[in-house]
A and B are shown apart, each in its own frame.
Chain A
Amino acid sequence: MKKIGENLYLVLIFVFLFLPILVLILFSFNTSSLNIIFEGFTLHWYYDLFQNSTLLESLFNTLIVAGVSTVVSTVIGTISAYGLYKYSFKGKNIVNELLYIPVVIPEIVLGISLLSVYTLLQLELGLFTLILAHICFCIPFVIISVRSVLEGIDSHISEAASDLGASRFQIFTKIIIPMLMPGILSGAQLALTLSLDDVVISYFTAGPGANTLPLQVYSMIKTGITPDVNALITIMLCFVFVLLMVSTVVQLRRLKKEVSL
């Protein structure tokens, strides 16, 4: 009885979580263009989508921004996490405190501050400023993720490697990086998620030439959305879902291996 109640509750919450997405997927195959009632199956909107250069460009921008900011913030975050762990320097405590600001501050404050500084430095808003902003809020999450793995590593291991003749470069690439991989990967996944999810900061830092999918949808909500947007969202969701499946399978394998040991 208790089990049934629990499972029912879980199903209910998952329905709540997935409902708005499922409804968009459903309507992407709907013959009616009104997003009100499902009238019949069609792939018409997918065909339309590939004629709509504005939408395709916003998708392209979204992927570019997410891809570049994930890679850059993962690299910088990993280097920084190791630097902060291994070395001490003046002002290290301040750096450590400041790192949490993008995590806890309301996104809108970060958004308008970056906008102000871009204006101050006379940077023209566009893809570059957008990517820079995404890198800005992704780095701390990568650092936190990598650092949690670093702290579990026996500090003698890199000494042992150096004792056996490895150079600093070799220690970092052959010993440290492989050990940090779980943290780096989860940090990268987090960065990718945050970048794809962001609305607020992008809203202030993108500028007219760099419409991303959410910004495009935002402006279309006011003027009226065409169903090819549903098709686009469905395609993106499939892409993201496949990515997530792969990462979950990899993690489950690792979990299984650990259990069997």
Chain B
Amino acid sequence: MNSKKLWKFFFICPVIIYVSLLIALPLIYILLISFFQSDYYGGMISTFTIQNYIDVFDQVYISVFLKSIFIAGITTFICILISYPFVLAISHKKPRTQKILMTLVMVPFLTNSLIRMYGWLVLLRKSGVINQVLMGLGVIQEPLSLMYNMIGIIIGMVYTLLPFMILPLYSSVSTVDPYLLEASSDLGASKMKTFFKIIVPQTLPGLFNGSLMVFTPALGYFFIVDILGGGKMMILGNLIKNQFLTARNWPFGAAISIVLVLITSLVIIAYRKLGGKMEDLGGA
């Protein structure tokens, strides 16, 4: 009986310690300091105030919120547009080829995302490879502004987050019965109709999953905005980063983080309401 208890202890202790020390404690602490007051030296005064939350509703910050949500939304939409034809094309291949192609999707992942952003910098800048090639071919006379603007940020976001859409959508598509598609075209449905009436409804779980996994990180990826947006642009990630590392106003940074968590929670609640399962997330 005693060894049984010891055994149970061994199996559940690590996860309890992990969850309480590395997940619960940090989040509770952030919640706590979001009600603190900052002093002028970058420290915190532990009094209770909701001033930080009132400050969030300043017009400057509201515009950052809106811009972040806009960028994340556009990114999600473009990822969906790119991913559907992609996973459908892959699903028409032999199982072996499918496996190899999906592994190839993962390969760029294994180099760090910041390094890939550096790659895009080399490609997109005024004197970059793309402009050089296009000018060399005589397509354009003047170099295009492909970065230090919204285009650059969106390219970076879509590029970084695309696999998060492709993976769940692919596993969703591979569960669609191919006979159903045959039956549909057999009954005279057009391609468009088959897509919207059969494929989309059956792949909704993957679509929701992918959208969640693209939308929420896009709110916080400050380094993409830093590198490809050129420091002029700002999303929530940059705002939080600045409050913590530059302005050293931790309580305000914490308050923005909590608002970000609330936005994320709304997205997750919507995901669950739409029938999404938590265990499908991150199962890539």
Do the two chains bind?
A: yes
Contact between chains at B7 and A168 (CB < 8 Å)? yes
Decide yes or no whether A37 CB sits under 8 A from chain B: yes
Interface string of B207-226 (1 = CB under 8 A from A): 00000100011011111000
Q: Can you give 8 contacting A-B residue pairs, CB < 8 Å?
A: A24-B122, A80-B15, A82-B11, A108-B237, A108-B241, A148-B279, A200-B237, A225-B118
Q: Which residue of B lies closest to A190 (CB)?
A: B284
What's the nearest-Cβ distance from chain A to residue B238, in Å? 9
Decide yes or no whether A19 CB sits under 8 A from chain B: yes
Contact between chains at B123 and A79 (CB < 8 Å)? no
Do A83 and B12 form a contact, CB below 8 Å, given A106-B220, A116-B250, A259-B95? yes
Question: Given the complex of chains A and B, what is the CA–CA distance between A144 and B281 in angstroms?
Answer: 9
Decide yes or no whether A164 CB sits under 8 A from chain B: no
User: Which residue of A27, A102, A109, A193 contacts B30 across the interface (Cβ within 8 Å)?
Assistant: A109
Decide yes or no whether A117 CB sits under 8 A from chain B: yes
A104: chain B residues at CB < 8 Å are 212, 216, 264, 268, 281-282
Do A36 and B132 form a contact, CB below 8 Å, given A98-B24, A147-B279, A225-B118? yes
List which B81-113 residues lie within 8 A (CB) of chain A: 82, 85-86, 89-90, 92, 95-96, 99-101, 103-113
Contact between chains at B27 and A101 (CB < 8 Å)? yes
Decide yes or no whether B40 CB sits under 8 A from chain A: no
List which A66-91 residues lie within 8 A (CB) of chain B: 76, 79-80, 82-84, 86-87, 89, 91
One of B58-66, B175-183, B197-205, B254-262 at the interface: B254-262
One of A40-48, A49-57, A152-160, A247-255 at the interface: A247-255
Decide yes or no whether B77 CB sits under 8 A from chain A: no
Q: Which 5 A-B pairs have the closest CB atoms?
A: A20-B119, A83-B11, A113-B26, A80-B15, A106-B220
Question: Given the complex of chains A and B, what is the CA–CA distance between A135 and B282 in angstroms?
Answer: 15
- Range, interface on chain B: 35 or more
Decide yes or no whether A17 CB sits under 8 A from chain B: yes
Contact between chains at A117 and B25 (CB < 8 Å)? yes
B10: chain A residues at CB < 8 Å are 79, 83
Chain B interface (Cβ < 8 Å from any Cβ of A): 3-4, 7-8, 10-12, 14-16, 18-19, 22-27, 29-30, 33, 82, 85-86, 89-90, 92, 95-96, 99-101, 103-123, 127-129, 132, 159, 162, 212, 216-217, 219-223, 227, 236-237, 240-241, 244-245, 250, 253-254, 257, 260-261, 264, 268, 278-279, 281-284
Question: Given the complex of chains A and B, what is the CA–CA distance between A25 and B169 in angstroms?
Answer: 30
A20: chain B residues at CB < 8 Å are 108, 116-120, 122-123, 159
A106-B264, A225-B118 are known; give 13 further A-B pairs, CB within 8 A: A13-B82, A16-B159, A17-B159, A95-B19, A109-B220, A112-B30, A116-B254, A145-B283, A199-B114, A199-B223, A204-B244, A240-B111, A243-B110
Main secondary structure of the interface of B (DSSP, over half): helix
User: Which residue of A17, A18, A221 contacts B162 across the interface (Cβ within 8 Å)?
Assistant: A17
Question: Given the complex of chains A and B, what is the CA–CA distance between A214 and B117 in angstroms?
Answer: 10
Q: Which residue of B lies closest to A192 (CB)?
A: B110
Question: Given the complex of chains A and B, what is the CA–CA distance between A214 and B212 in angstroms?
Answer: 26
Question: Given the complex of chains A and B, what is the CA–CA distance between A251 and B98 in angstroms?
Answer: 12
The CB with the most chain A CB atoms within 10 A, among B15, B29, B95, B159, is that of B15
A36: chain B residues at CB < 8 Å are 127-129, 132
Question: Given the complex of chains A and B, what is the CA–CA distance between A137 and B104 in angstroms?
Answer: 24
Q: Which residue of B lies closest to A96 (CB)?
A: B278
What's the nearest-Cβ distance from chain B to residue A219, in Å? 11
Q: Which residue of B lies closest to A10 (CB)?
A: B89
Contact between chains at A18 and B250 (CB < 8 Å)? no
A200: chain B residues at CB < 8 Å are 220-223, 237
What's the nearest-Cβ distance from chain B to residue A82, in Å? 6
B236: chain A residues at CB < 8 Å are 106, 108
Contact between chains at A17 and B257 (CB < 8 Å)? no
A14: chain B residues at CB < 8 Å are 104
A261: chain B residues at CB < 8 Å are none
Do A79 and B257 form a contact, CB below 8 Å, given A168-B7, A248-B103? no
B16: chain A residues at CB < 8 Å are 91, 95
Question: Given the complex of chains A and B, what is the CA–CA distance between A149 and B217 in angstroms?
Answer: 27
List which A111-138 residues lie within 8 A (CB) of chain B: 112-117, 120, 132, 135-136
